């Protein structure tokens, strides 16, 4: 059975549903440890932002997302840890799953259209392709 579940979060509705699903699993599996990860993508600007420190904005957004997830997990009485990273989300998620020895990843589906997925791919699709462990996609 599962002992360690990794839950990527980006603050979206789908990620929130995935977190709820993982919390539900943890109730059925009291030994399970949850790890929540938030990944900030690298942002490349063509034109410089005027009077905006993009790094600060991204850090504030990440702190808010992590705070909300932590609050939900604490209220549910879950055993958890918080992880973060910067870079390609799919790569960071897969690497974290291996390093943390997660045996399941529970993540939301962004619902990207077929054309978008073919052209740029989706994070969930790439995680499914490259993860060492099973991935549960929550819609």
User: Rounded distance, CA 124 to CA 93, Å?
Assistant: 10
Interatomic CA distance for residues 108 and 20, integer angstroms: 10
Give the tokens for residue 59: 């850090």
pLDDT tens for the chain, 139 residues: list them.
899 999 999 999 999 999 999 999 999 998 999 999 999 887 666 556 566 677 788 889 999 999 999 999 999 999 999 999 999 999 999 999 999 999 999 999 875 455 545 544 589 999 999 999 999 999 8
Q: What is the helix (H) or strand (E) element at residue 60, kind and residue range? A: helix 54-75
CATH (residue range 4-105+130-138)? 3.40.50.620
Res 93: pLDDT: 97
Q: Taking the chain, what is the end-to-end CA distance rounded to the nearest angstrom?
A: 23
């Amino acid at each position: 059975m599962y002992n360690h579940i990794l839950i990527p979060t980006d603050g979206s509705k789908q990620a929130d549903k995935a977190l709820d699903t993982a919390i539900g699993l943890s109730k059925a599996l009291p030994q399970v440890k949850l790890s929540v990860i938030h990944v900030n993508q690298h942002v490349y600007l063509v034109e410089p932002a005027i009077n905006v420190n993009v790094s600060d904005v991204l850090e504030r957004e990440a702190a808010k997302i992590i705070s909300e997830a932590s609050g939900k997990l604490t209220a549910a009485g879950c055993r958890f840890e918080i992880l973060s990273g910067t870079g390609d989300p799919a790569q960071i998620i897969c690497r974290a799953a291996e390093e943390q020895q997660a045996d399941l990843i529970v993540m939301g589906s962004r619902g990207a259209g077929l054309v978008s997925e073919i052209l740029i791919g989706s994070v969930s699709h790439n995680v499914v392709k490259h993860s060492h462990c099973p991935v549960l996609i929550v819609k």
